Amino acid sequence: KTRCERCAATTPANIFSKKEITIESGQPYRVLVIDDDPDVLALICAQLKPAGYRVMVGRGGSEALRMAVVEPPDVILCDLMMPDVDGITVIKKLRGDPRCTTIPVIFSTGSNDATTRRRIREITAIEPLIKPFSGNKLRAAVETSLAAKNPPVAKTSVVVS
Average pLDDT over residues 11-15: 39
- In 3D, which of 66, 132, 143, 127 has the Cα closest to residue 99? 66
pLDDT at residue 138, rounded to an integer: 97
Closest CA to 86 of 69, 111, 54: 111
pLDDT at 23: 53
Q: Is 64 exposed, middle or buried (0-12, 13-18, 19+ CB in 10 A)?
A: buried
pLDDT in tens, 138-160: 999 999 999 987 765 544 444 55
Distance CA 48, CA 46 (A): 6
Q: Which pLDDT score, from 0 to 100, does residue 100 have?
A: 93
- pLDDT digit string, tens, across residues 59-98: 999 999 999 999 999 999 999 999 989 999 999 999 999 9
Q: pLDDT tens-digit profile of 14-38?
A: 333 344 455 555 689 999 999 999 9
pTM of the complete model = 0.80
